[in-house]
A and B are shown apart, each in its own frame.
Chain A
Amino acid sequence: MVTGATAPGKKSLQTTLEISRAVKAYYGGVQAAKQEGKPIVWSYGLIPREIFHAVGAPVIYLEHLPLLMSTKQLSGRYCQIAEEEGFSRDVCAFHRCFIGCAAEEEKHPYLAKFWAPPDLIVASNLPCMSESKSFLYAANHFNCPYFFIDAPINIWGKEIPDYAVEYYAGQLGEALDFLGGYGYRLDWAKLKEAVALSRRLVYLWREIDEYRKAIPAPMGIVDGLTCAFPLIQLPGTKLGVELYERLRDEIKERVENKIGVLEEEKLRLLWIGVPPFYNMGLLNYPEQYGAIVVKSFVEYLAGGAFDPAIMDPEKPLESLATKALVDIVNPTYQNMIDFAVQTAKDFSVDGQIALVKRSCGLIPGVLRLVKDAVYQADGIPTTIFDLDGMDLREYDDAATKANIDSFIETLLDSKRRG
Chain B
Amino acid sequence: MSTIDTMRDILHNPERLVADWKAQGKKIVGYRCIYVPEEIIWAAGMWPYPIFGTPEAITQADSYFQPCTCEFIRNIFDHALDGKLNFLDGLVLCNTCDAVRHLYDMWITYIKVPDCHIINNPQKMYDESGYKYYCVELKRFKSEMENLSGNGISDESLQSAINLHNQTRGLLKELYSLRKKDPPLISGGEALDIVMASMLMPKDKCNQQLQQLIAEVKTRESPKTRGPRILITGSIIDDPTLIQLVEEVGGVVVADDLCTTTKYFWQEVGQNKDPLDALSRYNTERCLCSCMHPPERRFDYLWELIEEFGANGVIYFNLKYCHPFLYEAALFREKLAAKDVPTLMLEVDHSLSGLGQLRTRIQAFIEML
Residues in chain A within 8 A of chain B (CB atoms): 85-88, 90-92, 95, 125, 128-130, 132-134, 136-137, 140, 148, 150, 152-153, 155, 163-164, 166-167, 170-171, 174, 331-334, 356, 358-362, 364-369, 372
Contact = CB atoms under 8 A, between A and B. Distances in A.
Contact of A129 (B64, B120, B323): B323
B69 A365 contact: yes
Nearest 7 CB-CB pairs, A to B?
A86-B330, A133-B327, A365-B102, A361-B98, A150-B124, A364-B66, A167-B133
B98 A170 contact: no
A133 B323 contact: yes
Nearest to A331: B101
Contact of A365 (B65, B326, B347): B65
A356 B66 contact: yes
Nearest to B321: A90
Contacts of A90: 68, 320-321, 323, 326, 347
Contacts of B136: 163
Given A140-B331, A153-B95, A365-B99, A148 B120 contact: no
B95 to A, nearest CB: 5
B101 A136 contact: no
Interface in B79-106: 95, 97-99, 101-102, 104-106
A66 B238 CA distance: 37
Contacts of A356: 66, 68
A140 B333 CA distance: 13
B64 A134 contact: no
Nearest to B97: A129
10 contacts: A88-B326, A90-B320, A90-B326, A92-B323, A128-B98, A130-B327, A148-B124, A152-B95, A163-B133, A358-B68
B114 interface: no
Interface residues of B, number: 48
A150 B291 CA distance: 11
Contacts of A87: 326-327, 329-330
Contact of B105 (A125, A137, A174, A366): A366
A407 B104 CA distance: 30
Contacts of B291: 129, 132
Contact of B318 (A88, A130, A166, A333): A88
Interface string B149-161: 0000000000000
Given A153-B95, A332-B105, A368 B327 contact: no
B170 interface: no
B105 A369 contact: yes
B323 A333 contact: no
B328 interface: yes
A171 B122 CA distance: 12
Interface in B99-132: 99, 101-102, 104-106, 109, 118, 120, 122-124, 127, 129-130, 132
